[in-house]
Structure 1
Amino acid sequence: MAIDATAIEALIRSSFPNAKITVQGDDGQHFAAEVIDESFRGQNRVQQQRAVYASLKGLMDGANGALHALALTTKAPE
């Protein structure tokens, strides 16, 4: 089951409604995303990325996940 960048962005946006989100990728399995959100302020990178992965609601769950790879960049706004 393939997924597209728009669907990934919508899932992330459901958890981070005010974030600046950019998702790139077009093969249905490999994507890169940048999420910039104020809620990340004071969190380390691992905490930020765990929060984003949680928003994907299991899409990256091993062999059963629709999303094979997501290169993820997270940060608080400057």
Structure 2
Amino acid sequence: MAMDGEEIERRIKAALPDAEVIMVDLAGDGDHWGARVTSAAFAGKSRVQQHKLVYAAIGPTVGGDLHALALQTFLPA
């Protein structure tokens, strides 16, 4: 079963409470998601480290319940 976008957002916000998360269903199938995540927690971290923080928040479901996630990370303006 595919992972719901609201569940992905909930997990990200649980790990990064200040995060602003915008979810987009890229294929309309609930299985391929795009996420734009903005958080101060990304300060001083490389893009890879930022993405690892988000993937850790989502958990081991990437590749299983969550087939694909196109991730963009940003620092607050």
Query: What TM-score does the superposition give when structure 2 sets the normalisation length?
Result: 0.90
**Range moving further from structure 2, 17-26 or 45-54:** 17-26
Equivalence map 1:33-52=2 (5 Å): 33-52=35-54
Aligned to 2:22: 22
| Count of aligned pairs | 75
Question: How much is the aligned-residue C-alpha RMSD, in angstroms?
Answer: 1.0
Question: Following TM superposition, by how much is the alpha carbon of 1:27 offset from its aligned partner in structure 2, in angstroms?
Answer: 1.3
Structure 2, gaps ≥5 residues long: none
Q: What is the match of residue 2 of structure 2?
A: 2
Q: What's the secondary structure of 2:60's corresponding residue? A: coil
Percent identity between the aligned chains?
Answer: 43
Cα distance between partner residues in 2 of 1:2 and 1:68: 8
Query: After superposition, what is the alpha-carbon deviation per residue over 1:14-73, rounded to whole angstroms, capped at 9, x for unaligned?
Result: 10111111111141210000110001011110000000000111111x4xx100100000
1:35-74 counterparts in 2 under 5 A? 35-60=37-62, 62=63, 65-74=64-73
Task: Give the ranges of 4+ consecutive aligned residues of structure 1 lying more than 3 Å apart after TM superposition.
Answer: none
What amino acid sits opposite 1:24 in the alignment?
Answer: V
Asked if residue 75 in structure 1 is aligned to residue 74 in structure 2, the reply is: yes
State the TM-score, normalized to the length of structure 1. 0.89
Q: List alignment gaps of at least 5 residues for structure 1.
A: none
